[in-house]
C-alpha cells in the first residue's frame, strides 16, 4: 500500500477531498510531462517493472484504451482478457481462482464486469491471500464506475479553474439515472465539495435511486429532481448527460421510454447558459446530437483525454510513485 493509503479502488465513497485534490494535481503533472520527450521518458521510467492485468468481460472502448494507455505512459506492461469464452472460465474455473491466478502474473488487476459487486468481491479475495495486489473497479454492472467519476471530477475542476473549482457549482445530471453507474459514482463524490447543488432530470421510471438520495441527504447536499430540462437551466454550471442503459433491461423497459425530452442538440443549446459546460461519459446514443460537438461548452472529448491522465495518476498513487513525479 502507498503512503497515501490507496490500494483497492472499488467505490467512490472511499475518497476524501485531500486525496481528490492530490489526484487532480498528479493528473495535471502527468499531462504536462507527457507533452515533452524528456518528460514522457521520465514517466516511462517510473514503473517499468510493474504489470497490469486488464480483465474486461463487459464491452468497453474508452475505459479499456485509456487504462491501457495510462499503464504504458508509466512504462508498465499489460496483459488482457476481454473474452471469458477463451479463458479457463469455460472449463468451470471459479471467479475466486481466476482472480488469484491474475495476481500471480500482475501487480494490479483492473476489471470491468456486467454484474454488480464483482470488483468488491475480487478485493475481498485479494485481502484473504498472502500477497494481494490492488483491484481497480473499471465498471461493475449498474452499481459503480469510480475511475470515470475521478476523471469527471478532474474535468469539472479544470473547467471551473477560473471560477474557484467545483465548490459552489450547480450540476445537473440527465438521463437514465437509475442504472447509470457513472452518475451514481459521481454523486457520491459531491460530499467532498462545498455548497454544491445537484439537479436530476430523468424520464419517469428511470429516476435516481433512493440510496443515492439518502447519501446526499445524510451529507446535507442540496438536490432537486425535475422532469424537464428547461426547468433546471437557470444558474446551471454543468450538465452531465447519459444514455439509456438498455443492456440492464429486465422487462424491455427501454422500449417504452420517451427519451427525446432528455436529449441535447443545437436547439436546446440556444437556451443553455453561455458559460455552462456539457459532459457525457460516452458512448452516446441519440440523446447527444453530433451537431453540438464543436461548441466550446462541450467537454466530452476532453473527458476522454482526462481519463487517461487521471488513470495514470491513480496508478502512480497506488504504487506510491508520487514522489518520483517531482511534485512541487
Ligand atoms: C460508461 C460506462 O461504461 O458506464 N462509459 C464509459 O466508461 N465511458 C457510460 C455508458 O456506458 O453509458
| Rounded CA separation 328/326 (Å) | 6
Active-site annotation holder among 35, 37, 91, 131: 91
Annotated catalytic residue 243? no
- pLDDT at 324 > cutoff 80: no
CA-closest candidate to residue 143, choices 6, 251, 12, 262: 12
pLDDT over 90, % of the chain: 93
- pLDDT at 23 > cutoff 80: yes
- pLDDT at 328 > cutoff 80: no
Active-site annotation holder among 8, 145, 178, 311: 145
| Rounded CA separation 254/265 (Å) | 21
Output the pLDDT for position 323. Answer: 81
Output the pLDDT for position 2. Answer: 55
Lowest model confidence (mean pLDDT) among 9-18, 88-97, 150-159, 170-179: 88-97
CA atoms within 13 A on the CB side of 278: 27
Report whether residue 12 contacts ligand 1, using a CB cutoff of 6 Å: no
pLDDT band of 168, cuts 50, 70, 90: very high
Residue with cell 464486469: 113
**Contacts with 127 (C-beta within 8 Å, 6 or more apart), sequence order:** none
- What mean pLDDT do residues 262-282 have? 97
pLDDT band of 86, cuts 50, 70, 90: confident
Report helix angle 118-127 to 95-105, nearest 10: 60
State pLDDT tens for residues 209-259: 999 999 999 999 999 999 899 999 999 999 999 999 999 999 999 999 999
- pLDDT at 105 > cutoff 80: yes
The C-alpha cell that represents 286 in the structure block: 441519440
Annotated catalytic residue 63? yes
238-241 vs 170-174, strand pairing mode: parallel
pLDDT band of 87, cuts 50, 70, 90: confident
- pLDDT at 4 > cutoff 90: no
Q: How far is the CA of 282 from the centre of ligand 1 (A)?
A: 6
Name the DSSP class of 86. Answer: G
Please give the model's pTM, rounded to 2 decimal places.
0.97
Output the pLDDT for position 197. Answer: 98
Report whether residue 306 contacts ligand 1, using a CB cutoff of 6 Å: no
Output the pLDDT for position 239. Answer: 98
Active-site annotation holder among 25, 51, 62, 72: 62
What's the mean pLDDT when you consider all of the chain?
Answer: 96
Report whether residue 181 contacts ligand 1, using a CB cutoff of 6 Å: yes
State pLDDT tens for residues 30-83: 999 999 999 999 999 999 999 999 999 999 999 999 999 999 999 999 999 998
Output the pLDDT for position 322. Answer: 85
Give the mutation target among 282, 287, 300 for probing the ligand 1 site: most ligand atoms within 8 A of CB: 282
- pLDDT at 327 > cutoff 70: no
Angle, vertex CA 284, rays to CA 59 and CA 288, nearest 5: 175
- Atom 6 of ligand 1 has which residue's CA nearest to it? 281
Annotated catalytic residue 28? no
CA-62 nearest atom, ligand 1: 8
CA-282 nearest atom, ligand 1: 8
Amino acid at each position: 500500500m502507498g503512503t497515501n493509503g490507496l490500494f483497492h479502488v472499488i467505490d467512490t465513497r472511499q475518497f476524501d477531498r485531500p486525496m481528490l485534490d492530490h489526484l487532480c494535481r498528479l493528473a495535471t503533472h502527468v499531462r504536462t510531462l507527457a507533452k515533452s520527450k524528456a518528460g514522457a521518458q521520465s514517466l516511462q521510467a517510473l514503473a517499468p517493472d510493474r504489470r497490469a492485468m486488464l480483465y474486461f468481460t463487459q464491452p468497453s472502448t474508452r475505459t479499456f484504451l485509456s487504462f491501457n494507455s495510462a499503464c504504458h505512459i508509466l512504462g508498465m506492461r499489460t496483459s488482457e482478457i476481454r473474452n471469458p469464452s477463451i479463458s479457463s472460465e469455460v472449463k468451470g474455473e471459479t471467479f475466486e481462482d481466476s482472480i488469484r491466478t491474475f495476481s500471480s502474473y500482475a501487480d494490479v488487476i483492473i476489471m470491468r464486469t456486467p454484474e454488480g459487486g464483482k470488483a468488491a468481491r475480487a478485493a475481498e479475495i485479494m485481502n484473504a491471500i498472502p500477497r494481494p495486489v490492488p483491484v481497480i473497479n473499471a465498471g461493475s454492472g449498474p452499481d459503480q464506475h469510480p475511475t470515470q467519476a475521478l476523471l469527471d471530477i478532474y474535468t469539472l475542476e479544470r473547467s471551473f479553474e477560473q471560477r474557484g473549482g467545483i465548490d459552489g457549482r450547480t450540476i445537473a445530471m440527465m438521463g437514465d439515472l437509475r442504472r447509470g453507474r457513472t452518475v451514481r459514482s459521481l454523486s457520491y463524490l459531491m460530499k467532498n465539495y462545498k455548497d454544491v447543488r445537484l439537479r436530476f432530470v430523468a424520464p419517469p421510471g428511470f429516476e435516481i435511486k433512493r440510496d443515492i438520495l439518502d447519501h446526499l441527504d445524510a451529507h446535507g447536499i442540496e438536490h432537486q429532481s425535475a422532469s424537464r430540462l428547461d426547468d433546471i437551466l437557470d444558474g446551471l454550471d454543468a450538465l452531465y448527460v447519459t444514455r439509456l442503459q438498455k443492456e440492464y433491461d429486465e422487462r424491455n423497459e427501454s422500449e417504452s421510454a420517451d427519451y427525446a425530452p432528455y436529449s441535447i442538440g443545437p436547439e436546446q443549446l440556444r437556451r443553455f447558459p453561455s458559460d455552462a459546460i456539457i459532459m457525457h461519459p460516452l458512448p452516446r446514443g441519440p440523446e447527444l446530437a453530433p451537431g453540438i460537438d464543436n461548441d466550446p461548452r462541450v467537454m466530452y472529448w476532453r473527458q476522454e483525454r482526462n481519463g487517461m491522465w487521471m488513470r495514470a495518476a491513480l496508478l502512480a498513487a497506488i504504487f506510491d510513485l508520487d514522489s518520483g513525479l517531482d511534485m512541487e
